[in-house]
Each structure stands twice: as structure tokens, then as C-alpha cells.
Structure 1
């Protein structure tokens, strides 16, 4: 890592060629895809999760101070999206572009991939900036391998409200996926905010340094949907076969069933 960051996050749209989007993720660590979800999809999804979000308590239950700082004192996280939202299970994770991007970025190396977690993350007023980190730290041995290590996944980070620097937009250090030392997570001055409208998505590599921003507003709740996708040889955060009822699982499109682990694990992704 050298100097301050002057890079920008590239912005594309749903019509941008898949190869161009994948190349931007490889080069910069992340890219913003504008208008990935329609306004109607955002509205319906937010309505479907609202009651569960209202019942969710902010912050972490663990006593560990590092964990508390990471999860945020006024940040809510809601999991088990398959159960909570019809829009999520029948549209968002069954979207052709969603799967085409996963295929382009992960399939050749991983052979098969699945969803390791999907969370609504809502940063409330007064929440401090999240510590910078790389998602591959969930599988700590990969940290020591640096940029030469295998791909451990990508994250689709959807804006469900406007993302501004003031309300806690996710901060990213473009190019940090190429730093030789992954123990180096950067300094607070280096990240740039992913400024987005509701429906836009930040697609980023598990190798890039990033973190939630500080919400310095007094009344705005920045809401996002985070979908983590990783090679299916890696254990996920959420054990969907234990969370999702068999009735719901049977109702899902086949590729969504596969995405959440209702299948066998083979290198080439056989179901």
C-alpha cells in the first residue's frame, strides 16, 4: 500500500457486456451496476422485510469489543432472506444477469458456487464507520496467500435506499485486491464511498478492502441487501437447509435451490 487513494469506482448498467463488468471487478476489486433492481422490486422487497426489520435489535449480542465494533452499535442485520421475501427468492436471486455474473467471475475456477449469506444491513444515525476488512477473512487461511490466492467469492451489495457519504455508504479501496499483503487493510483516509441510488448494486471481490461508512445524519437509515456468493467447497455463514422449510424449498426455481445448497456438491456443480 502506498499513498492516498485517488481511484474511482467505475459505473456500468445492466446492458454492459458481462465480460466488461467481470474485468472491472478483477481490475479494481469492485464496480457499481446502476439500475440492477427496478424501483418496484426495491419497493416490494423493502415492504416484505419491514416487519422483521422493525423487530430486529441493532448491534451485536457478543461481549467481544472487536465484534461489537464490526457489527455496529446502531446497525441492524436481518438474515434468512429466502424465507422473508418472495421478491428475493423468486426474482432477485433468480435473475439471469445475477447468475451470468457469478458464472463469469467464479465458475471457471470454482466449478460450482452458492450463496453463503444474504442480509439486510441497515446503518442507523450515529453509527461509526465499520473497520476496514476483506470478506475472505471469513476463511482466514486465504489471507496469507494474498492476490495469488484463489477466488473466495463476490458480494452483490444492493442499495435499498440512497447511498451518500453522510448516511454511511459502503467505502471501498479500489485496487486493494492487488496489494501484496492482505494483512494490510488500508487506512481511514483511503476508501471512497460507493454513491448509489436505490436499485444500484456494488459488485465487489472478497479480496478488496472495504467497510460500512459512518452515518452522521440524525434521521436517515441507510439500508442495503448484501448477497455473498462463494465456491461451494467453502462453508457458508447461513445453513439454508436448516433455515428454509422443505415446502418453501420445493417451490423455488431449480437454480435457486442449487444456490442455497439443496443439492450435492461436485466440482462441476452436478445437482
Structure 2
């Protein structure tokens, strides 16, 4: 059966103050929506202040020599994870943001139950970096490579702009509506997906967030500027029955975890998880893992979200 690729439609933009309804409506229609003013200028400044010193120690380009990974990473791109250790603002405010949790509850609760952080990755694209191959994030988990658009939403990305995102400096490229395409409605397999009708740059101001589905086809844009770096955080959240990309519980020191709310702790796996219709996972002797770790017991841990 042939598939007729629909024409590109603009990425919708919704103010964070508009509330959940308009945001979810645009997300369901297009698989991507820009939420304007998601974070305040003060929060953006504090995040950048926290992240700049450790990011200065990160080298441009991939650490692994695999050519496919190198193309995905970018030759003049810095990537840094472990945000919860590097930034107090991230672990105490970003992970505990009410609107973020309202969105995640609406997306995950009905089909999957609990959710947690897959990764929060600083992506800092420098001048001359080529466009990233297009891809779908959910293909990180092989089982979803066989699932079409009718499957449950296993993961979403909150892409936080920490600087201005423009077409010229490498704004993320999107194909709105591609989350509804049949799984085989691409020209090639894997990371190298040909977009027959092109892609659109998701331009944003610092503090805006691009929320998009794990099924949406996207990729980092080329930075065609002479001296401008594009910095953002790809904050991927997924159903908590899926293994996260980052080993948060092995990376974040407990003294920093104790600064966090129970809800934020749960996002990193320092509290037990309750997928839909299960007695719970991520436990010890069927006990809440927070008790075992010596963290304060929250009587409502099952419904923190």
C-alpha cells in the first residue's frame, strides 16, 4: 500500500499560560507544539550559570569512533548529561515543574501509569556543524520499531531552549504530523530518514519548550552562523517500565537527592514506580525504595504525580 505524504504544516505555538487544553490539542494534532514562556528568564539564567562551567570541560564531537554515532552526535556539538548533579535549579525546579507534570500525567497515566526521566541532555551546537540525521526517539527501544501510529505514547521530549533557536544557528528540524505516519512510511531505515517534503525549523526564544512525541521525525539543524552556539536541553520523559538512557541512581549523590521533592526524586528513580495495573516495580523486598535508601517516606508515593 502506498502512502501519500501530506504537505508540511506550521508548528503551532501556545503560551504556557494558556493551560493544558490548547497544549495537548496541538500536541495530539501535530506531534509537536512550542510552549512559549515555559520557563522564566531568571530560571534560564540560573540554568545557564549552573551548566556553563561543566560544559566548558566537554569537548566538541563524539567520544566514540563509530561513524554512525559520529554523524548523529555532530563534529562541533557538545553533549552533556547528568543535569541533576550539575544544576540545583534543574533538580529542584525543572524536575518539579507543575505544568510539566500536568502534561505528563495527561499523556502517560491512562495507558502506562507512572513515568520518569529518560535523559536530560545539554545539546550545544557550534558553527559549521552539519544537520543531524532525522530520526524518531522511540526507536531507542527496539520494540517500538514495529509499532505503528496506533500504539501508546511511550515517550515524549521537552526540548528546552536555553538560547535563541533560529534556522541559521541549528534550530531542531521537525516534520509536524509524522507521528501519525505508518511505521514504514520512510524512504530508508534507521537514522537516515529522507523527508520527501522537507522539514521545518522550530524557532524559539530562550525559555520556550518544544514538546514532541517520540514518534515524531526530527533532527538537529545545521549551524550556519560564524560565531553563534545554540544551547538547549533535550529532556526526554518516558513510561517508567522502560529503562532510561541515564543511570540516574548511580550518578546523582544522595546529598543532592535530599534537596529534591518526592516528586522530583521519583523522576530519577529514587522512589518506587507504579506502572498501570501493577503492584509496583523498582523496589526491595516489596518495600518502597526510598525507605531502603533512607529517604523520608512519602505516604502518597504511588500518587506523587
TM-score range, shorter chain: over 0.9
Map 1:102-181 → 2, pairs under 5 A: 102-181=104-183
Unmatched 5+ stretches in structure 2: 187-192, 281-300
Provide the rounded CA distance (Å) in 2 between the counterparts of 1:119 and 1:192: 22
4+ residue runs over 3 A deviation? 1-5, 268-271
Map 1:190-269 → 2, pairs under 5 A: 190-268=198-276
Normalising by structure 2, we get a TM-score of 0.85
C-alpha contact 2:156 2:212 (8 A) present in aligned 1? yes
Provide the rounded CA distance (Å) in 1 between the counterparts of 2:222 and 2:196: 11
Structure having the higher helix fraction is 1
Provide the rounded CA distance (Å) in 2 between the counterparts of 1:48 and 1:69: 28
Unmatched 5+ stretches in structure 1: none
Q: Deviations over 1:134-178 (max 9, x none)?
A: 000100221111112221111000111111100000010000001
Normalising by structure 1, we get a TM-score of 0.96
Higher mean C-alpha deviation, range 30-39 or range 173-182: 173-182
Aligned mate of 1:11, from 4, 7, 13: 13
Corresponding residue pairs, total: 271
2:54 maps to 1:74? no
Higher-Rg structure is: 2
Who is 1:22 aligned against?
24
Query: What's the secondary structure of 2:157's corresponding residue?
Result: strand
Who is 2:42 aligned against?
40
Aligned mate of 1:93, from 92, 95, 113: 95
Provide the rounded CA distance (Å) in 1 between the counterparts of 2:243 and 2:184: 21
Provide the rounded CA distance (Å) in 2 between the counterparts of 1:23 and 1:262: 32
User: CA 1:34–1:104 in structure 2 vs 1: closer, same or farther (change >3 Å)?
Assistant: same
Provide the rounded CA distance (Å) in 1 between the counterparts of 2:274 and 2:172: 35
